[in-house]
């Protein structure tokens, strides 16, 4: 109540002050209007009498003057009339005024002197009367009287103004009463609104924080959506989430210490990297940025998007765990609006933890470096997906140019940092390690190659394989997902460049610089205690809600989550679903497969054509089997948030990952990590790197349509006990080998590499 009074009291004082000022203004205006009205009436009456008095004054008809004066003295508020001669003596006067105004008043004297009408208001105490108590306030209007061309006297009209004071008193009383009522009503309304929109939500927020602080489960959010304290609610929600996460991390760390377990968490990674990096920032460079800012034309606002990318999924937790700088291509339509003068901003938006440095590319540069050389050349070359790689000299020039631009940006960010640590990402930057290392020999440079590395015969198709391999060997450490890719790379080195390949320790010595080659299977951040703040609905309820949103009736769901890319085996997957429906007609109107397909690289003709092929194939299969309320395939060709995708993971009977060739494929691990109920099945291509770790999945050859169809049937018919056994083992693997372990091992190996700085660098330093 004390807080409410502190808020309301200034409002009460303000309302009362404004009401009083308005009341004073009303009274003043009323008094001025009444006086002006009286003055006009007195002027009209005086001028009328002047026309009648002057002829009588010329003929010295004093009796007629007296009768005229007495007749006009009976009007409303008119106290009387008096006619004075030029000496100021009364010639004719209303009897009631005779005792007070025997001689002319000051106004009459001024009228005679100035030869014009003069008006004057007199208070009661300004009137000379034998009975002062009976004196009343008056208004006097005097006019000069002329006779035979000269001044003959003055005419004075007297009005009683006590009615004005009475009317003003009534107005003052009404205004004060109105001000009082307004103050009471506004204060009462403000009290209700403050308690409803301010003190009430604050009280609930305090109770919520108290509940969270004491560690009680099922704590409800402090405020409802749309309340006036939305921004505070958002910040408190983030604070509560951080508090819950910190408590969960502390509990997990304590459990691990007690059991001598080796699970890596964000907190453990943060502590480990703090010791390994010795307070030095971590620099990461990738083509894809973790956050994009785009214009929303509908409401003319700027929205934040998290791109659908395995690289972003993998690296975001690492950058959150250790403060550093992420250098990336600024590709959002509103990206330039949010950066500072140095093209930097802090991210994530809701909890800034690291710096994003944006590098700008023109459309022509993007077409050559990204769409051309990277994705029409290196991507199909490395995936061996039976799509012919295209290598154009002009694209190669842009690739070199952009690698140099990103290298320059990295070097700018490294300025002032002694022995910096750089982690470059993927096939877009094969030349960058050499460029950075030549400028900063003291830097520790690693590059992680997220896609497969083919055998040397295949990679030899690239006209610039020597330059690419030489650029990669500028790094101190090269990481791949699996050992096979490491082997393929070393064999390519043997054929492409002059270097000493040390197979016993998987290293390459080129011109005195040693590059280590290691497998680091990438993973995801395994959710721990994710149900503390928000309880997830049951699988059945989630499935029913999704089916209602999709407009279908189905009791069983399968899910696939991919970029629409020809390496993901989406067409082969659809053919397998068609074969499954043919072989098992009992599943018609019961089972639906939901394919979430994020459109990707649509500026490239092969990708546009493939998106059209996938859409057409889904339509063809649906046309064969669908009914008014059911169809076998729902193709959602749009980007979805991680939260939206998680709903499908939880509701699905199985997830299908049928990559024709994949470095790892994190969808498989995301699905496993999301299944806290330890149910569901994973159908996984043997050509995905994840198959080397998730051996309890149903492993398939995506080119074998019948085998995949049989795996769909097996997944749907799998007993719950078998589902639980398989899922528990896969979840244990993903949990133990999570993204924090990946980052810890890669960066630990990098920081332990001894950097030999040439003598020329030491002397310059």
Per-residue model confidence as pLDDT tens digits over 389-447: 999 999 999 999 999 999 999 999 999 888 899 999 999 999 999 999 999 999 999 99
Predicted confidence at residue 243, as pLDDT, reads 66
Q: CA–CA separation, 717 vs 132, rounded Å?
A: 115
Confirm whether 54 is domain-assigned: yes
Give the list of residues 6+ apart from residue 753 with CB closer than 8 angstroms, or none. Answer: 444, 476, 477, 516
**Average confidence (pLDDT) over 71-87:** 80
Confirm whether 276 is domain-assigned: no
Predicted confidence at residue 456, as pLDDT, reads 96
If asked whether residues 586 and 685 sit together in one domain, one would say yes
If asked whether residues 553 and 520 sit together in one domain, one would say no
Predicted confidence at residue 760, as pLDDT, reads 45
If asked whether residues 108 and 131 sit together in one domain, one would say yes
Whether the CB-CB separation of 365 and 402 falls below 8 Å is answered with yes
Confirm whether 90 is domain-assigned: yes
Give the list of residues 6+ apart from residue 728 with CB closer than 8 angstroms, or none. Answer: 678
Residue by residue, what is the 3-state secondary structure of 91-138?
EEECHHHCCCCCECCHHHHHHHHHCCCEEEEECHHHCCCCCHHHCCCE
Helix orientation angle between 739-751 and 310-321, rounded to the nearest 10 degrees: 70
654-657 vs 681-685, strand pairing mode: parallel
Residue 39's alpha-carbon distances to 54, 79, 161, in angstroms, are 22, 14, 11
Buried b (16+ CB within 10 A) or exposed e, 27-55: beebbeebbeebbebbeebbeebbeebbe
Confirm whether 453 is domain-assigned: yes
Q: CA–CA separation, 401 vs 369, rounded Å?
A: 8
Residue at which a domain ends, from 165, 195, 219 = 165
Per-residue model confidence as pLDDT tens digits over 270-325: 788 777 877 788 999 999 999 999 988 777 889 898 876 656 766 777 787 777 89
The total domain count for the chain is 3
If asked whether residues 578 and 448 sit together in one domain, one would say no
Q: CA–CA separation, 558 vs 709, rounded Å?
A: 12
**Average confidence (pLDDT) over 525-538:** 61
If asked whether residues 586 and 519 sit together in one domain, one would say no
Which tokens hold the place of 86? 């030029």
**Average confidence (pLDDT) over 625-636:** 96
Task: Say yes or no to pLDDT of 714 above 90.
Answer: yes
Per-residue model confidence as pLDDT tens digits over 498-526: 999 999 999 999 999 999 999 999 999 88
Confidence of residue 259 (pLDDT cuts 50, 70, 90): very low
Give, as one character, the DSSP assignment of residue 60.
T
**CA nearest to 428, candidates 513, 365, 485:** 365
Torsion sign (Cα): 701, 705, 707, 712 = positive
3-state secondary structure at position 448: strand
Per-residue model confidence as pLDDT tens digits over 704-713: 999 999 999 9
Report the CATH number that the domain containing residue 352 is assigned in CATH: 3.40.50.2000
Predicted confidence at residue 761, as pLDDT, reads 41
| Range from 38-52, 225-239, 729-743 carrying the lowest mean pLDDT | 225-239
Confidence of residue 227 (pLDDT cuts 50, 70, 90): low
Strand partners, 654: 558, 681
**Average confidence (pLDDT) over 16-36:** 88
Predicted confidence at residue 20, as pLDDT, reads 86
Per-residue model confidence as pLDDT tens digits over 642-700: 889 999 999 999 999 999 999 999 999 999 999 999 999 999 999 999 999 999 999 99
Task: Say how many CA atoms lie within 13 Å of 252 toward its Cβ.
Answer: 20
Predicted confidence at residue 93, as pLDDT, reads 87
If asked whether residues 504 and 549 sit together in one domain, one would say no
Strand partners, 517: 478
| Range from 93-97, 472-476, 484-488 carrying the lowest mean pLDDT | 93-97
Q: CA–CA separation, 93 vs 101, rounded Å?
A: 8
Confirm whether 486 is domain-assigned: yes
If asked whether residues 518 and 666 sit together in one domain, one would say no
Predicted confidence at residue 433, as pLDDT, reads 98
If asked whether residues 506 and 543 sit together in one domain, one would say no
Residue 703's alpha-carbon distances to 560, 658, 689, 715, in angstroms, are 17, 9, 17, 18
Confidence of residue 329 (pLDDT cuts 50, 70, 90): very high
Predicted confidence at residue 222, as pLDDT, reads 55
Residue at which a domain ends, from 487, 503, 525 = 525
How many residues in total does the chain contain?
765
Vertex 208: Cα angle to 206 and 214 (nearest 5): 100
**Average confidence (pLDDT) over 536-562:** 92
Q: List for the chain the helix, strand, coil content (%; round to 5).
A: 50, 20, 30
Q: Is 12 exposed, middle or buried (0-12, 13-18, 19+ CB in 10 A)?
A: middle
Per-residue model confidence as pLDDT tens digits over 188-220: 888 787 777 777 777 777 777 777 666 555 555
Cis peptide, bond prior to residue 348, ω within 30 of zero? yes
Predicted confidence at residue 764, as pLDDT, reads 36
If asked whether residues 591 and 705 sit together in one domain, one would say yes
Count of beta carbons in the 10 Å neighbourhood of residue 600: 18
Task: Say yes or no to pLDDT of 558 above 60.
Answer: yes
Give, as one character, the DSSP assignment of residue 332.
S
Whether the CB-CB separation of 453 and 489 falls below 8 Å is answered with yes
Confidence of residue 632 (pLDDT cuts 50, 70, 90): very high
Confidence of residue 245 (pLDDT cuts 50, 70, 90): low
**Average confidence (pLDDT) over 36-40:** 91
Confirm whether 180 is domain-assigned: no
H helix or E strand, kind and range, residue 4: helix 2-58
| Range from 89-103, 157-171, 207-221, 452-466 carrying the lowest mean pLDDT | 207-221
Per-residue model confidence as pLDDT tens digits over 160-169: 888 888 998 9
Predicted confidence at residue 9, as pLDDT, reads 80
If asked whether residues 380 and 501 sit together in one domain, one would say yes
The alpha carbon of residue 508 and the mean position of all alpha carbons in its chain are separated, in whole angstroms, by 47
Predicted confidence at residue 601, as pLDDT, reads 87
The pTM assigned to this predicted structure is: 0.68
Predicted confidence at residue 431, as pLDDT, reads 98
Confirm whether 70 is domain-assigned: yes
**Average confidence (pLDDT) over 600-619:** 93
Confirm whether 662 is domain-assigned: yes
Whether the CB-CB separation of 140 and 126 falls below 8 Å is answered with no
Q: Is 758 exposed, middle or buried (0-12, 13-18, 19+ CB in 10 A)?
A: exposed
Mean pLDDT of the chain: 87
Predicted confidence at residue 310, as pLDDT, reads 58
Residue 60's alpha-carbon distances to 46, 157, 444, 634, in angstroms, are 20, 20, 126, 117
If asked whether residues 368 and 419 sit together in one domain, one would say yes
Residue at which a domain ends, from 165, 199, 224 = 165
The backbone region for 512, taken as left when phi is positive above 0, alpha when psi lies in -120 to 50, beta otherwise, is left
In percent, the amount of the chain with pLDDT more than 90 equals: 54
Q: CA–CA separation, 413 vs 514, rounded Å?
A: 25
Task: Say yes or no to pLDDT of 531 above 50.
Answer: no
Predicted confidence at residue 430, as pLDDT, reads 98
| Range from 118-132, 364-378, 521-535 carrying the lowest mean pLDDT | 521-535
Report the CATH number that the domain containing residue 101 is assigned in CATH: 3.30.450.20
Domain range enclosing 491: 283-525
CA dihedral 684, 687, 688, 692 (to 10 degrees): 80
Q: Is 348 exposed, middle or buried (0-12, 13-18, 19+ CB in 10 A)?
A: middle
If asked whether residues 601 and 504 sit together in one domain, one would say no
């Amino acid at each position: 109540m004390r807080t409410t009074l502190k808020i309301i009291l200034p409002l009460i004082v303000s309302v009362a002050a404004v009401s009083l000022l308005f009341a004073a203004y009303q009274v003043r205006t009323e008094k001025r209007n009444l006086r002006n009205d009286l003055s006009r009436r007195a002027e009209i009456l005086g001028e009328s009498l002047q026309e009648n008095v002057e002829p009588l004054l010329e003929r010295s008809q004093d009796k007629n003057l007296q009768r005229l004066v007495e007749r006009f003295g009976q009007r409303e508020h008119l106290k009387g009339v008096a006619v004075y001669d030029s000496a100021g003596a009364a010639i004719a006067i209303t009897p009631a005024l005779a005792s007070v105004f025997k001689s002319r008043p000051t106004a009459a004297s001024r009228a005679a002197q100035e030869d014009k009408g003069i008006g004057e208001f007199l208070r009661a105490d300004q009137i000379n009367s034998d009975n002062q108590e009976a004196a009343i306030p008056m208004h006097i209007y005097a006019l000069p009287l002329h006779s035979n061309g000269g001044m003959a006297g003055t005419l004075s009209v007297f009005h009683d103004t006590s009615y004005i004071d009475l009317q003003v008193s009534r107005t003052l009383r009404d205004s004060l009463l109105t001000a009082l009522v307004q103050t009471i009503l506004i204060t009462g309304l403000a009290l209700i609104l403050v308690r409803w929109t301010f003190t009430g939500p604050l009280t609930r927020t305090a109770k919520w924080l108290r509940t969270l602080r004491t560690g009680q489960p099922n704590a409800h959010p402090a405020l409802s959506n749309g309340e006036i304290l939305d921004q505070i609610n958002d910040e408190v929600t983030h604070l509560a989430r951080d508090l819950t996460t910190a408590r969960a991390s502390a509990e997990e760390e304590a459990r691990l210490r007690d059991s001598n377990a080796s699970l890596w968490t964000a907190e453990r990674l943060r502590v480990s990297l703090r010791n390994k990096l010795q307070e030095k920032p971590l620099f990461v460079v990738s083509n894809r940025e973790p956050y994009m800012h785009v214009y929303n034309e509908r409401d003319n606002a700027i929205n934040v998007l998290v791109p659908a990318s395995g690289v972003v999924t993998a690296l975001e937790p690492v950058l959150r765990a250790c403060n550093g700088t992420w250098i990336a291509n600024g590709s959002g339509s509103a990206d330039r609006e949010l950066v500072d003068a140095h093209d930097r901003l802090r991210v994530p938006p809701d909890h800034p933890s690291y710096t994003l440095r944006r590098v700008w590319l023109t459309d022509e540069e993007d077409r050559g470096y990204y769409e051309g050389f990277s994705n029409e050349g290196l991507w199909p070359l490395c995936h061996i997906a039976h799509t012919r790689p295209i290598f154009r000299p002009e694209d190669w020039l842009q690739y070199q140019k952009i690698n140099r631009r990103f290298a320059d940006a990295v070097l700018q960010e490294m300025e002032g940092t002694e022995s910096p640590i750089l982690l470059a990402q993927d096939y877009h930057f094969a030349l960058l390690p050499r460029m950075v290392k030549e400028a900063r020999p003291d830097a520790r440079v690693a590059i992680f190659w997220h896609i497969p590395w083919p055998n040397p015969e295949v990679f030899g198709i690239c006209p610039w394989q020597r330059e690419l391999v030489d650029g990669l060997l500028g790094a101190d450490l090269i990481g791949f997902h699996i050992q096979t890719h490491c082997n393929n790379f070393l064999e390519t080195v043997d054929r492409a460049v002059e270097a000493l390949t040390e197979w016993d320790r998987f290293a390459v010595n080129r011109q005195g610089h040693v590059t280590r080659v290691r497998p680091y299977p990438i993973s995801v951040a395994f959710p721990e205690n994710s149900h503390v703040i928000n309880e997830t609905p049951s699988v059945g309820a989630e499935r029913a809600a999704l089916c209602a949103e999709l407009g279908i009736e189905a009791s069983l769901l399968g899910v696939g989550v991919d970029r629409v890319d020809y390496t993901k085996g989406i067409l082969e997957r659809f053919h397998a679903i068609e074969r499954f429906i043919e072989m098992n007609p009992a599943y018609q109107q019961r089972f639906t497969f939901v394919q979430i397909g994020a459109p990707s690289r649509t500026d490239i003709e092969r990708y546009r054509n493939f998106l059209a092929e996938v859409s057409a194939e889904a339509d063809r299969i649906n046309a064969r089997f669908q009914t008014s309320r059911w169809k076998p395939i729902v193709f959602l060709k749009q980007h979805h948030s991680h939260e939206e995708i998680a709903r499908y993971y939880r509701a699905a009977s199985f997830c299908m990952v049928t990559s024709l060739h994949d470095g790892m494929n994190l969808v498989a691990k995301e699905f496993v990590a999301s299944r806290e109920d330890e149910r569901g099945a994973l159908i996984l291509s043997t050509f995905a790197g994840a198959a080397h770790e998730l051996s309890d999945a149903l492993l398939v050859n995506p080119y074998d349509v019948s085998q995949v169809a049989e795996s769909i049937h097996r997944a749907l018919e799998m007993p719950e006990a078998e589902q639980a056994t398989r899922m528990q083992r896969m979840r244990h693997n993903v949990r133990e080998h999570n993204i924090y372990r990946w980052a810890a091992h890669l960066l630990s190996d990098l920081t332990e590499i001894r950097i030999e700085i040439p003598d020329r660098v030491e002397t310059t330093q």
